[in-house]
């Protein structure tokens, strides 16, 4: 089962969330916010590149797949948590101040994204010359629950190392959308 429509929609939604940010001028005055915004854009570009490879909109290239997966892995987990220190939330950032009130939940979600991205990067280390069925989501894999904020109760307990690369990407995108939905505010 190809899930190109799901990937495209998730990447577009993620890109929409990232483009609804304050102007460069407002961000330029706060180096933490500017660095966080650059990191988010890098993650969105990496996720888009991988999604386009799985969707056939971009030629699959094992080296590009590896670079994008490594970019996601490097920017998630502890690195992502570190990008949201106390005192850098709210305007001019799109990060809601509620992150501090829900810090354990935010950190658990960022850590889960990190575990998924690490597993994706590990798979990319041994990426074959072409996308094979073993990299695809296939049938029978749940589409509704990589997120700790999601619907499936034991989603966080699933072993990412046993999941196909395409499924890992889908779960990463779900977690990103869940995090943005809960912890990101739109800026004028």
| pLDDT per position as a tens digit, 23-67 | 333 444 689 999 999 999 999 999 999 999 999 999 999 999 999
List the domain range (segments joined by +) for residue 82: 4-183
Q: What is the pLDDT of residues 122-147, one digit of tens each?
A: 999 999 999 999 999 876 555 444 44
Note whether 98 and 143 are within 8 A (CB). no
What 3-state class would DSSP assign to 112? helix
Residue 20 within any structural domain of the chain: yes
Strand partners, 95: 184
Q: Is residue 123 part of a domain?
A: yes
Decide if 132 is inside a domain.
yes
Cβ(148)–Cβ(175) below 8 Å: yes
- What CATH number corresponds to the domain at position 166? 1.20.120.10
Residue 188 resides in a domain: no
- pTM for the model: 0.80
Q: How many domains are contained in the chain?
A: 1
Cα–Cα distance measured from residue 45 to residue 48, given in angstroms and rounded to the nearest whole number: 5
Sign, Cα dihedral of 129, 166, 164, 123: positive
């Amino acid at each position: 089962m190809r899930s190109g429509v799901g990937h495209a929609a998730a990447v577009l939604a993620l890109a929409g969330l990232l483009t609804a940010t304050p102007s460069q001028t407002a961000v330029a005055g706060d180096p933490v916010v500017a660095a966080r915004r650059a990191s988010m854009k890098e993650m969105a570009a990496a996720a888009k590149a991988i999604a386009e490879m799985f969707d056939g909109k971009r030629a699959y290239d094992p080296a590009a797949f590896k670079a994008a997966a490594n970019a996601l892995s490097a920017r998630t987990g502890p690195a992502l948590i570190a990008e949201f220190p106390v005192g850098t939330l709210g305007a001019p950032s799109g990060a809601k101040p509620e992150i501090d009130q829900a810090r354990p939940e935010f950190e658990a979600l960022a850590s889960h994204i990190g575990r998924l991205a690490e597993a994706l990067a590990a798979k990319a280390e041994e990426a074959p010359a072409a996308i094979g069925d073993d990299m695809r989501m296939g049938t029978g894999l749940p589409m509704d629950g990589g997120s700790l904020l999601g619907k499936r109760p034991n989603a966080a307990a699933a072993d990412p190392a046993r999941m196909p690369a395409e499924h890992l990407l889908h779960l990463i995108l779900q977690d990103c959308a869940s995090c943005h939905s809960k912890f990101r505010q739109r800026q004028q």
